[in-house]
Each structure stands twice: as C-alpha cells, then as structure tokens.
Structure 1
Amino acid sequence: MVYDRKNYQVLSKLCNSVDSSLSSRPPYCAGTCPIPPEKLVLFYGNDSSKVSRIDFSSPTPEELDSLSNACQPASFGVNHERVHHESYRKAGEMNIASFATRFSARNAGLILTVRQELLDCNENRDIKVELYKLNVYGKDSFFKAHKDTPRHETMFGSLVVIFPTHHEGGEFVLREGYREWSLDFAKMLSDSPHRPCVGYVAFFSDVEHEVRQVTSGHRVTLTYNLYLTPESQAPIKTISAPAPYEGSLAAPLYTLLTDPTVLPKGGYLAFGLRRHYPLGEGINVTNYKTCLTGTDAALGRVLTTLGVDWNVMVFYRNVGSYNDYMSEEVVNLSKEPHDIYDFDEAMGEAAVLVEFASVDGIPRVRRHPNAETPPRHFAKVTVDTMTCWSSPYVMSGHYKAEVGELNAEVYIVVDLQEPVKRVVRKADSMEVGA
C-alpha cells in the first residue's frame, strides 16, 4: 500500500472534526433552580445537643455561625482512607445522621436535568441519588484541586447543591485536560430573578475540581452521589432525544466510515472513551455498551443511527514479543509464568491479534509480514482512552524470567468491513449539507 500524504491529511481533518465534536461538550451541568421557601428549612443536631433549625431562604449570620460550629472538620479521601488536613481542605462537614432537610434534589427536577444535560445515557437507565453530606465553608475556607473517588462501580458523578446564603469567593472550578471552567455561585444566586433559589453543579467523578477560598460569609452545600441503576430497575422507559451536537458529530462520522481509503482492507476503528469506567480482572467490557455516559453514550447512539456494528473492547499493545491484541475481556496474566512465544493462548480465546495502523490502513510497525492470516488493522480516530488498566506478569522464554506489564486500553470500536461490503446510512440528525 502506497502512502498518500494528501489523502492522509484529508482523513486527519475528518478525525479532528469528530474529536472536536466530542470535545465541545463540558463535563458538567450547572445553574440555578427556584425552590419553594418551605423546602429550604433544615434541622440539625446530635446526641449531645438540642435540635436546631435554620431557614436558608432568610438565614441570619448568627444562625449560620451556629450551623458552622455544629460541623466537624471536613475530611477528604487519600488511598481509600478519610484524612483531615487544613492545608488541603478547610471546611466543616455534617453527616446525614446529624441533619434533616425538606429539600429533595429529585423533586426539584435536578435529577432530570442531570439526565438530560450531563448523561446522554441509555434510555432505559435511571439515576439513583444518594445524599452524602452537608458542608459549610466559612471565611478563609477552601478545598484544593482533587478528583472524587467513586464509592461503587455504578457511581458516575456528584451533584452539589448550593444554598442561597450570602458569601463572597468560593468559586467552584472544574478542569479537564487543557480546559477550565469557573462557576461563581455567589454571583449566580444574587443575580437570579427567582427568589428563593439554589445553585447546582453536577459533574463526572473523573473531573478535577476545587473550591476557591471564601473571602466572607458562609457557603453552605449539600453533596449527592450519583449512580446509574441497572436497566431492570429503571422505573420507566423514556425516549432519549438526540443531543444538539449529535448532528455535527454524525456528518464527519458518515464521511469517515464511507471513505474507501479508510482501512481499505477492513479493521477496527477505535474511539477513546472520554469518561473513566471501573475495570478489573475478568471483566467483559462489552457490558459497558449499555453503561456509557456523556459523549461516550452520544457517540454510541450516533454509530447505531448510522447502522454500523460497534462495541466496547480492550486493546493490548506490545504484549510478550510486542504483539497487539483486541479482546472483550480484561485478561489476567499474573497467576503463572507465560512463554513469550505462546501469548496467543495465554491471552485467551476472546483475544484477536491486530496490527496498529493509521486510519488509511498503513501499518505503523509491520510485525507479521509472513503470517498465514494477516492480523486485522487497528486505527485510532480520536484521543487515547480515559479508561485504562494494567497488571504485571512473568514472562519466560529467555535466559531468565522477566517481569512485564500488561496494559489494557478500552475503546469504542467499529468493526469496519472492506469498502464494497460497508453499509452506512445517513442519520436524520445530520446537519444540512452533510
């Protein structure tokens, strides 16, 4: 196959267009929500104190001071342990056993908002919301940049509700890659035409975030853990409308998948997962096809609309004697030594030998020129995946045993046939002129 520089540049622009469409959506949703005044009443106390009451629709500074004094120093997670250090986080916290609130995130419509604006998830999935704790950030309080630790494999994010208390500073900052968003809820709440109201921000667990220093007043929040429920537990099946950006995504995808110069001998087109999903030994990653969230779910929905065969699969690079594999399972090679020349069997029946290539089908490194059955090409369209896993293994076959590391990368993968066998249909959501 002859390298065509001009055609490669055209295909690269198509790949960049797909990547840009997937990158355009921020990993959070935020805003303000009007709330009836009676829903802003909170009771708090513990075994050693009387029960106190605070109305967040019109709290006094003294009431906020009392609430702050009733809190414990806020902790944070390090290596699956809760620790406290005011150089990293200075705030107060109260566990759910010590307070009761009439506010309901679901009744306020926030869970529906999360589903529509953040998830883009499978239409059969509902969201389980779990109230986690109350936090009070007084003057000079803050929480440095960090990522949340999911408390269960189905936990995908957090929802923070900000009560309408007077404060300055305490901006909520989110970061992903080179992008940063700063949310000033003190200003959002004071500028809102609705009285009273709360602020809210929902975001994925793998997004870095921080609370900047509060310069005056009290910033009071409720934090909820968000989980995807099993499809069988979804209370109602709804119609999931296409996200607004799916039309701009469908157009370059259609052009890419129908271009005969893209993997002309067929192969796997891979799209890096934008969100992190939990992995472990023996997991069949095809099960994640119904658990994708955000732009991962949107990509899967567009591919389905285009009528192409796609799945979620694991890619292994440089295994043993530098072979590459595709598999449906996260393989465990740590239990016993493996011969360097026998990795096909060690990787299991689900593994397929592949050859890393560019989208035009040119192998990056030709490792199997004399193979009886040439390996299928594997080409990445978008960024490297956010969902990875690694484990050590012992490799024999040399003068002495050596320790290697098996690196698994999970992708959305399109099984692309040769051009004459491809069937791709145009999507109704494609932008005019595509």
Structure 2
Amino acid sequence: MASQKSFESAVNSIRTFLSARPPYYNGTYPVSPEQLTLFYGSNGSNANRINLAKATPQELGKLEAACQLATFGVNNENVYDESYRKAGKMDFADFATSFDVEDSDLLNLVDHGLLEGDDEQRAIKLELYKLNVYGKGSFFRAHKDTPRSETMFGSLVIVFPTPHEGGEFILRDKEHEWEVDLAKSISESAQQPCVSYAAFFSDVEHEVRMVTSGYRVTLTYNLYFAPVGIMPCPTVSTLAPYEQTLAQALYEIVTNDAVLPDGGYLGIGLRHMYPVEEGTDVTDFRNYLKGPDAALGRVLSALGLSWNVRVFYRKVDSREYLHSRIVDLSKWGQMCCDVIHAIMRRSGAELVQHVHIYGTRKSFYGCSCLDWSEDSEEIQETKYVQLAEVTDLKDNISQVQLYVMYGNEPTVSYAYVKLCIAVDLPFLGARSINRLQVQ
C-alpha cells in the first residue's frame, strides 16, 4: 500500500492536470487582401462593399452605422444597456465575407490548439453567429456565451486587421485570468495581411475591454462537436505523454487498498461547465467532454475503469445524491425531506455517503435514509453508496434552477452546471486495473 504522502501527491497531480492548461487558443492566420472583402446590407437596401485590409475610417464608420445596437441576454430576455455592453452587431443574414474559415487551415489549428488527445481528430461543426463592430468607447463586460445545445463546446472570434487600440480580450477561469491583445498580434505578425483569432471553451468568462481608438471588427462562430461514431477504446500504451502522468496518479489511487475497500464511487469534479436543461441525461456528455475533462475520461478507459458523467446534489434536505439527470428542485417548493427524497429516488438518483479519499469516513449529513416503495406508500430503509471525493464536487442545487445569467443572448432552457465523473470501483477482491507500465 502506498504511503499517505505519495497518495496525496497523486491526488494533487489530478487536480493540477485538470487546471493546468489555459482554456483558450489564439494566434494569427495569413490571408490574401481579396479574402478580407466584406459585403453588407439589410432590409432591401443596396449592398455595400468594404475591404477590411485597407478600410478608411469613413468606410468603417459607415459599417458601424449599418449595425444594430448589440444587446445581451439576462434572465431569459434581450437587454440593451450601454453600461454593460456597447457595440454594434450584424446578423449573419445581413453580411457575407470572402474569408471562408471552413475552406482554410484555421479550423485545423483551432482543433489541435484547443482540443486534446484523440479529440484533436474529431470533426468540428462551425456555425457563423454574428459580426460585431466596436468603435471608440465600445466594450462588453464579463459574460459567458449563451449555451445553445449540449454539443456546443466553444466559440471562435476572428479579428480583422482594422487599425484600433484597446479592445483587449480578457478570459477568466476560477482564479486565473489571461489577457489577449488580438490587435497587437496582428501588428506584430511577420505575415501580412492576416487576421488574429481566439478560440475558447464557451463556459469560460470573457470580456472585451474598451476600444480607445479606431474600429475593432470581428466575426464570431459557435463551435460544436460533430456526432461521434464508434471510437476505439484507448490503451495505456496509446496515451499521449502528458496523459501518462495522469494515468500514473489514477493508478496509484485505485490500486491503494485504503480506497473504498468495500466498493463505491470515486468522485472527480470536472473543470468545465456544461449546458443542460431540466431532464438532460448528463451521461450523454461522455462523448462531449472538453479539454482536460475528455483526457480524464480517456485515461480512465485506458485503465479499464468503469466511469460515467453524473450530476452531484449536495445536502438536499440533508442528503446527498449522484444522478444521471438534471432535476429542477425549485419547483417542488418547501416539501418535507422524505417527499424530496422519494422524488429523487424515483427519478433514478443514488443516495451517497461521503468518505475521505484516504479511507477515513466523513460525517454523514442526514436524517434517516428512507424511501417510498414503488408498490405501496410504505416507507422503507434505503442503502447508500460510498463516495470518495478526489477533486471538488460542486453543489448543483442552485445551478439547475433557471437563474439570472449574463450572456451574449437570452436563454430559455439551457444553463451551465458543474458535473463530475463517477468512477465505479468494485470491492478490493473484484478490482481489476489494467497494468500501468511506468516509464
């Protein structure tokens, strides 16, 4: 059995792996002057033409004037508030550009730069969303992109080489912050003309700082995972080098005799948030995990471990559950704990009891664990499953309600929540782990 010191080191390695890589990828991409031609017009007006490689301030001012005022989504409504967002927008039906992202190598760069491991080979579906013009004094305060489906995983912003200052792109993920000056990237690029770009996961908070001069012209695309076919099961030997480090840490944990000797779940909180609505089967995200979350799933499969995506409900009337579905508990009001428990159990939730990862039982919050029989209204005892928390499992009680959320569009049903991976460990005598060849 490994020492507690080496065991804690393995746990820390997993936490570091999930948080180490920035949740975005940016760069510049060379284009020809002809690819920077933009046509625009709406409501039956004559089409206008502008070349963004050599546009004059007057031409850019005309483009800005042709835009609508950019709104944002809050509490399922479109809101215009210049204290939060000041910019112009143009819907994709009102413009056309000669720069075709899908016909360029840019999407491959984004694929390899943002995604990891086998996901780098996955097809990405690209959806043109909007054109935005940020003139002097324009900005967009911190927000997250509005989730549109369970397969949407990110956004791609392309900045054209129109002269401007300010408008830095800021991304935040927990305690980390990154500043990306896309205008500076263009001016410093050895390849001219070019566009700059930033691709990022859609649950990452971001903002556009105030433009102090000129015009910042951007295209935004939504990024979706294409449907997956039958994918080969990874093996330890086929893992990428950086995934081997994660495999070593997980191997040390699951082969430790002190970890769930009687069986149970290892709970690993995922780094990214995922778009759900009430009733969503979160196990579908097994095929749509993002970045390090996807790498975690590949490593678990390579080790031969049984795992799936779950939503964790902490202290629901003093009980805790793992569930494969999203349940909006807010609509049930102030019901007694046994009624809530019956609702959760009948919908398929598993009652869990926390134990420390190194084998020490945690205190269990709860009244008597009772359930209603399916065949009668009798109340009967319910067993719980032990859950050892490897990384922080976020409380999703408030998150699964429809709540006020600032985004680039209003949302009616989808909201971001934190999910986890539950690794189903048998009792020690039945546990079989693929052997890890230590490098």
Report the TM-score range of the alignment, normalised by the length of the smaller protein.
0.7 to 0.9
CA pair 38-242 structure 1, distance change in 2 beyond 3 A: farther
1:380 aligns with 2:350: no
Contact 1:173 1:210 in 2 (8 A): yes
Aligned twin of 1:68: 64
Aligned twin of 1:411: 420
Aligned twin of 1:292: 289
Alpha-carbon distance in 2 for matches of 1:387, 1:274: 14
Aligned twin of 1:326: 322
1:424 aligns with 2:421: no
Contact 2:312 2:393 in 1 (8 A): no
1:214 aligns with 2:211: yes
Q: Superposition pairs for residues 7-406 of structure 1, below 5 Å?
A: 8-47=4-43, 49-120=45-116, 126-231=123-228, 245-320=242-317, 322-331=318-327, 340-341=337-338, 345-346=342-343, 347-348=345-346, 350-366=348-364, 375-385=384-394, 389-390=399-400
3-state SS of paired residue (1:173): strand
- Structure 1 residues 165-174 or 382-391, which shifts more? 382-391
Task: Tell me the CA shift for residue 426 of structure 1.
Answer: 4.4
CA pair 41-190 structure 1, distance change in 2 beyond 3 A: same
Cα distance per residue 1:312-360 (max 9 Å; x no partner): 123333344x333333333466569976457665412733332111112
Output the amino acid matched with 2:393. D
| Unmatched segments (≥5 aa) in structure 1 | 393-407
Contact 2:233 2:302 in 1 (8 A): no
Cα distance per residue 1:76-100 (max 9 Å; x no partner): 1112222222221122211222211
Output the amino acid matched with 2:301. T
3-state SS of paired residue (1:150): coil
Cα distance per residue 1:25-47 (max 9 Å; x no partner): 11111111112322211111223
Task: Tell me the CA shift for residue 119 of structure 1.
Answer: 3.3
Aligned twin of 1:402: none
Contact 2:270 2:418 in 1 (8 A): no
Task: Tell me the CA shift for residue 369 of structure 1.
Answer: 12
Output the amino acid matched with 1:20. T
Kindly report the root-mean-square deviation, in angstroms, between the aligned alpha carbons of the 2 structures.
3.3
Alpha-carbon distance in 1 for matches of 2:328, 2:432: 36
Cα distance per residue 1:42-67 (max 9 Å; x no partner): 11122364322111222222322221
Contact 1:43 1:52 in 2 (8 A): yes
Contact 1:361 1:377 in 2 (8 A): no
CA pair 55-368 structure 1, distance change in 2 beyond 3 A: closer
Alpha-carbon distance in 2 for matches of 1:22, 1:387: 20
Cα distance per residue 1:119-168 (max 9 Å; x no partner): 34758853221111111112222111111211333322211100111111
Contact 2:312 2:419 in 1 (8 A): yes
Alpha-carbon distance in 2 for matches of 1:41, 1:30: 23
Q: TM-score, normalised by structure 2?
A: 0.82
Contact 1:123 1:238 in 2 (8 A): no
CA pair 92-327 structure 1, distance change in 2 beyond 3 A: closer
* Larger RCO (CA within 8 A; separation ≥ 6): 2
Alpha-carbon distance in 2 for matches of 1:160, 1:386: 32
Q: TM-score, normalised by structure 1?
A: 0.83
CA pair 314-147 structure 1, distance change in 2 beyond 3 A: closer
How many residue pairs match? The answer is: 407
Task: Tell me the CA shift for residue 12 of structure 1.
Answer: 2.8
Alpha-carbon distance in 2 for matches of 1:131, 1:391: 30
CA pair 242-33 structure 1, distance change in 2 beyond 3 A: farther
Task: Tell me the CA shift for residue 415 of structure 1.
Answer: 0.8
Alpha-carbon distance in 1 for matches of 2:83, 2:261: 57
Task: Tell me the CA shift for residue 24 of structure 1.
Answer: 0.6
Alpha-carbon distance in 2 for matches of 1:409, 1:229: 22
Cα distance per residue 1:161-204 (max 9 Å; x no partner): 00111111111000011100000111111111111111111112
Alpha-carbon distance in 2 for matches of 1:374, 1:184: 55
CA pair 84-427 structure 1, distance change in 2 beyond 3 A: farther
**Overall identity of the aligned pairs, in %:** 48
Alpha-carbon distance in 1 for matches of 2:76, 2:328: 23
Cα distance per residue 1:292-328 (max 9 Å; x no partner): 12111110011111111111123333344x3333333
| Unmatched segments (≥5 aa) in structure 2 | 370-380, 403-416
